[in-house]
Structure formats: structure tokens, C-alpha cells
Amino acid sequence: MISLVYSAASFAQGTFKTKNVIVITLDGLRWQEIFTGADSSLINNKEITKTLEPTKKKYWNPNVMERRKTLMPFFWNTIAGQGQLYGNRYLGSNVNVSNNYWFSYPGYSEIFCGFADDSINTNDLKLNPNVNVLEVINKKDEFKGKVAAFTSWDAFPYILNAQRSGLLVNSAFQTQPPVSENIRVLNEIQSQLPDILEGVRLDAVTFHQGFEYLKAQKPRILYISLDETDDLAHEGKYDLYLNAINYSDNFINELWQWVQSDANYKDKTTLLITCDHGRGEGNPGWRSHGRKIPNSSQTWFAIMGPDSPALGEVGSNSPQCYSNQFAQTIAELLGVKYEGQRKTGDAITSVLGRTDSKKTLTTR
């Protein structure tokens, strides 16, 4: 274990190197798989792991450190060395949603608005009355037209209220202007794929639509929301759920390698990865979430960028963190003042390279 001490006097507020932010969410991905890899009680269950032997060969290792690295190599080979990971409850790092519902629309609204709203209590396609941090940032002259969201789930034009906010929100099976040959091909492929997830675009298409937009249009803020981790868990397919985690990690690695090769983004970009809610434990608990499913308020996040010290896996003595803190953290990194319609969660000071009072963060 390593103890790192930071004091408020060591860091000047508002003098950040971050010029761009990329946010990626993995819907309903449990912290247990992040920090311990494949769950032995689930991967050995033939009811939910149909391809049992190939799945175990691919993801199982009795050593938890190796097991999690096998499942998510980018997280554990890159972020663990260069960034910060929060939410390993076995080490005393707790991250939760603050809303009362523990499912998707309330979770995403909390992430981007910075507060929980008890009236946001359904996944129905209704316009969010609350202004979000992306909307506020997009109205600043230096960011206008440079904020974009690409999402698999068709609820995001409502969650981010694209009608009011004017944000570019590309969701589900929406195409985008074919400003490059790759985007033209993606649009065509997207129109030809079967709707196997019933209204949810396949994550590979969502990711590459967003990635190609990043390369062609150079936004200051890019949000990519992947959904298959939640869809496949609801279907009770643990082997496919593990596959979705693994290839999502590979997507993020591909994006980050490009970011670090491009002059507009290299050493100027903060990457924030999190989820909208947790899940239950065991079978069938892991398949679902919501207020009636114990522990599905438990989440996690990872962050890496020029202003976030390389703390690695944060452990005991770390502060309790909530999803309502991400909006202010994003705003502060970009030097934007964000005042929500209600009191928002405070920015996460350890992410910003400082603490409000002298404090020791214990890391693995």
C-alpha cells in the first residue's frame, strides 16, 4: 500500500491543463467485475454461462489481480498506472448514486445535472426539465458547437433534452452527416444491422460513430454511452456480459491511444469513465437493479488526465463519492462555472489534484 499526502496549499485552483473532456459510461457495469474480474459464482453457472469452458479459458484466473487484468487490460495496465480508480469496496473506497431509484434515467440525469431529482423516476422517454452541465458548457463561446454525445440508448435526446439544449445527441439508429468515408460506411452498416437489442444500437457502432466524429470534428467534450453490459445482464447471459466488458475496455484503449497521438488532445484531455447504477449480487440478483435490489446503488469511476495525480486504485481513507459530483468536476476541470437548478454535489477534489484540507489517500 502507498500513502500519498496532498494539501490545499500545494495546488492552485483553476489552473488546469485539461482543455478537453471525454466521458464514457458503461451501463449497469458492476464494480465487482471492475475490481475482481469474473465472478466465480456466476462464471461457473451453466444456466447463465452457456459457453462455460471457452468463457473460463478466456477470463478465469484464480489470482484476482490477473483475473481483472485479463478482463479489462486497459483499466489495469494503463489507468491503474497513470490515473485513478474508485469504488473497490473491499478496500474501503465507496461510490454510490445519490438518487432513490437505482436505474438508468435517474442515474444519467444525476451524472450530468449534478443532483438527484425525485421527479425523475421512470425510464420513459420524457424531456428532462433540468439543465445539464454539457448544455451550460455548450453555451460558452469557446465551447459552442464543440460538445457532442453518441449513445446506444434512444433515451438520451430526452435525458440531455436536445430539443432545449441544442446539444448534438446522436442516439440509437440515428445517422450523422457523412463528413468522412468511415462515417458514410458506418451509417450504411447501421441501417443494415438487425434490431437485436430492441431499440438499442449495438455498442460497436455507437463507439465508432463517436470515435470517427472525434477524429473528424475535434470536439472539446465528447460523451459516449455504451449499453450492452446492462442489456446482456438483464438477459441473464453472463458470458456475453463479460465479453461486452472486455471489448468495451478495448474500445476505450483504442480511443485513448489515438487521443495521445493527436496534437489537439495529447496531454490536454481528461478521460472519465463511470456507470449509471450498480446491480445485485449472485444469481438472479446480478441480472437486475433498482430500489428493491440490494446494493445496486453501488457504483465506481475511473479518471485519467493531466490534472489527476496517478493514485491508481484508491483504497481506505478515500472520501465517499457520489454520481452527483461528476458535473462540477467536469466544469471545474474546464474552468467553467456551473450552477445547477438545485444544489449540486461538490467537485471531487482528489481528482483535481488537491484536497480541501490535509488528507491522506491510501492506494494499492
Separation CA 80–CA 300 (nearest Å): 14
In tens, the pLDDT along 260-284 reads: 999 999 999 999 999 999 999 999 9
Contact 49, 43 (CB under 8 A): yes
Report the run of H or E that residue 363 belongs to, with start and end: strand 359-363
Average pLDDT, integer, range 334-360: 83
Separation CA 305–CA 16 (nearest Å): 10
Separation CA 238–CA 234 (nearest Å): 10
Q: Which amino acid is at 87?
A: G
362: confidence class by pLDDT, cuts 50, 70, 90:
very low
- Longest CA–CA span in the chain (Å) reads 57
Check pLDDT > 60 for residue 356: no
226 Cβ neighbours under 8 A, 6+ residues apart: 24, 25, 26, 27, 152, 203, 206, 207, 244, 248, 251
Check pLDDT > 60 for residue 333: yes
The length of the chain in residues reads 364
In tens, the pLDDT along 198-246 reads: 889 999 999 999 999 999 999 999 999 999 999 999 999 999 999 999 9
Average pLDDT, integer, range 4-18: 52
Core vs surface per residue 153-184: b (16+ CB within 10 A) or e? bbbbbbbbbbeebebbbbbbbeebeeeeeebe
Check pLDDT > 90 for residue 295: yes
Q: Give percent helix, percent strand, percent coil of the chain, each to the nearest 5.
A: 35, 15, 50
- The residue whose grid cell reads 473460463 is 56
Mean pLDDT for all residues in the chain: 93
- Look at residue 11 in the predicted model and tell me its pLDDT: 35
In tens, the pLDDT along 146-169 reads: 999 999 999 999 999 999 999 999
Separation CA 354–CA 213 (nearest Å): 33
- Look at residue 10 in the predicted model and tell me its pLDDT: 31
Contact 55, 256 (CB under 8 A): no
62 Cβ neighbours under 8 A, 6+ residues apart: none
Give the predicted TM-score (pTM) of the model.
0.94
46 Cβ neighbours under 8 A, 6+ residues apart: 52
Check pLDDT > 70 for residue 315: yes
Query: Looking at the domain covering 2-363, what would its CATH class be?
Result: alpha beta
- Look at residue 364 in the predicted model and tell me its pLDDT: 52
Q: Among residues 293, 343, 345, which one has the least CA distance to residue 319? A: 345
253: confidence class by pLDDT, cuts 50, 70, 90:
very high
Q: How many CA atoms lie within 13 A of 221 on its CB side?
A: 28
% of the chain surpassing 90 pLDDT: 89
DSSP E strands, 202-245: 221-226
> Domains of the chain: which residue ranges?
2-363
- Look at residue 14 in the predicted model and tell me its pLDDT: 56
